[in-house]
């Protein structure tokens, strides 16, 4: 049996096991599935307004040139601490959009030499930071929190620390 075939069978095997176990325990599988689907749709409906706003805001930020303007403003300070200027848009975009940041990261990797300092910093930054606003929108929307108070400032501080520490650790490990 080839590796591809065996990995193709993992999901059907898990579904068959869960269904078989539920039948063994005399659980109504179809009713349980419908109940879970109904709850999932309810969660999606409650999160949708926040996600719609977030996606609109991201599109506006990217199309308006705000990200380029902000990175141009921050670039002289970033260069003083050794942060690669070509990675700044990634650091700005990452808290807002995982897919937008991933797209920029892929573009960055295509244009930079493999294993270069900026490419390594970008890689560490992608792995060490979070899509803060997306995460807050989804989780807070799902459980109905209206006032997050200190969540966003604390999370943005962590994202900032991830950017600074990505430079620090890449420098440390390149020696």
Residue 161: per-residue pLDDT: 93
Closest to 87 measured CA to CA, from 66, 129, 118: 118
Measured between alpha carbons, how far is 38 from 2 in angstroms, rounded to an integer?
38
**Cβ 29 vs Cβ 22: under 8 Å:** yes
pTM of the model as a whole = 0.67
Q: What angle do CA 86, 88, 91 make, to 5 degrees?
A: 135
Q: What is the pLDDT of residues 25-34, one digit of tens each?
A: 998 888 888 9
Tokens for 117, please give them. Answer: 């300092």
CB-based contact 163:129 (threshold 8 Å): yes
Angle between helices 29-64 and 132-143 in degrees, nearest 10 = 140
Instruction: Quickly count helices (H) and strands (E) in the chain.
Output: 9, 0
Mean pLDDT of 57-77: 84
- Quickly state the pLDDT bin for 5 (edges 50, 70, 90): low
Residue closest to 87 by CA, chosen among 116, 64, 61: 116
3-state SS class at 94? coil
Q: What is the pLDDT of residues 98-154, one digit of tens each?
A: 877 888 899 899 998 888 999 999 999 999 998 888 888 778 877 878 777 888 899
Confidence of residue 164 (pLDDT cuts 50, 70, 90): very high
For residue 23, give both structure tokens.
């039948």
Cα three-residue angle 96-103-56, rounded to 5 degrees? 40
Specify whether the CB–CB gap between 121 and 87 falls below 8 A: yes
Distance separating alpha carbons of residues 61 and 55, to the nearest angstrom: 10
Distance from C-alpha of 131 to C-alpha of 137, rounded to nearest angstrom: 10
The chain-wide mean pLDDT, for the chain, equals: 85
């Amino acid at each position: 049996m080839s590796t591809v075939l065996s990995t193709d069978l993992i999901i059907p095997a898990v579904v068959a096991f869960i269904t078989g176990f539920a039948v063994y325990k005399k659980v109504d599988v179809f009713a349980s599935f419908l109940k879970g689907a109904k709850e999932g749709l309810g969660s999606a409906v409650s999160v949708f307004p926040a996600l719609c706003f977030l996606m609109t805001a991201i599109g506006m930020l990217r199309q308006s040139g705000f990200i380029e303007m902000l990175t141009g403003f921050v670039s002289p300070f970033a260069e003083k601490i050794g942060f690669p200027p070509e990675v700044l848009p990634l650091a700005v975009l990452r808290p807002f959009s995982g897919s937008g940041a991933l797209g920029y990261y892929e573009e960055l990797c295509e244009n930079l030499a493999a294993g270069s300092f900026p490419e390594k910093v970008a890689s560490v930054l992608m792995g060490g930071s979070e899509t803060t606003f997306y995460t807050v929108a989804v989780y807070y929307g799902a459980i109905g929190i209206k006032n997050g108070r200190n969540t966003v400032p604390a999370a943005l501080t962590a994202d900032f620390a991830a950017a600074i520490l990505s430079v620090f650790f890449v420098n440390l490990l390149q020696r």
